[in-house]
Amino acid sequence: MIRRLTGRCESVEGLEALIQPEGHPLAYGVLLPNHLAQQLLGVVAVEGPPMLTLHTIEQYEPQGQSTSLTPRLIGFTSPTEQKFFELLTKVRGLGHRKALKAMARPPAWIAAAIQRRDVKALTELPEIGKRLAETIVTDLHGKVELFLDAGEPIPGAGRGAEAFAPEPSGPAEAAVAAMVALGETRADAERLVARAARAAGQGEPDADALVAAAYALR
């Protein structure tokens, strides 16, 4: 069983990347989470084939009504991302293909939406309607704390975990605006407010409280 694969990503088509290990005559087709496939597509187009290591799992996919099975490799940038995918596929109605498509945002973004019980945010993901979003929240709320800061940069992409915070809205957006007015960059303000909102747990702090908490966390 292939557990890890290192090579150059030569191309990305849909959710499948072609990975060529250096000095190896074979190339591997690896299915990726949607957000990762999109990032790599941009990197390949701008920077050329990046070298990366993927943590992989193998699945055997049935072909229609046939009894034959096709082996598939699924790859992730970290063991944490792999664990999040495995948790997500435990939700009723989320098979492997559907979960990969739904992961159009990194685990940190999705986990934060689940932790906030934000059904509306989850419905912005591909394949996720309102009923399935409600099921995800019901099944996974309280089980995603490990993933709130998950996010691995891709070579050439220039995006780390802090870039994966959910888009601020409501009091969070007001808090970001206030901090920008006080001289913070928007990126720093969004990062600090996101951390303050996570620290607040299930409460609904107002903008002033978020600003105070954000500066306390610095």
Cα angle at 89 between 78 and 65, to 5 degrees? 120
Q: Residues with Cβ < 8 Å from 42, sequence gap 6 or more?
A: 157
Percent of the chain beyond pLDDT 70?
A: 86
Provide the residue ranges of all domains of the chain, joining segments of one domain with +: 4-147, 167-216
CATH number of 167-216: 1.10.8
Q: Residues with Cβ < 8 Å from 170, sequence gap 6 or more?
A: none
Q: Domain 4-147: which topology?
A: DNA polymerase; domain 1 (1.10.150)
Residues 115-143 pLDDT 10s: 999 999 999 999 999 999 999 999 999 99
Mean pLDDT of 4-21: 94
Mean pLDDT of 169-194: 78
59: helix, strand or coil? strand
Instruction: Give me 68's structure tokens.
Output: 């034959």
In terms of pLDDT, which residue wins out, 14 or 1? 14
61: helix, strand or coil? strand
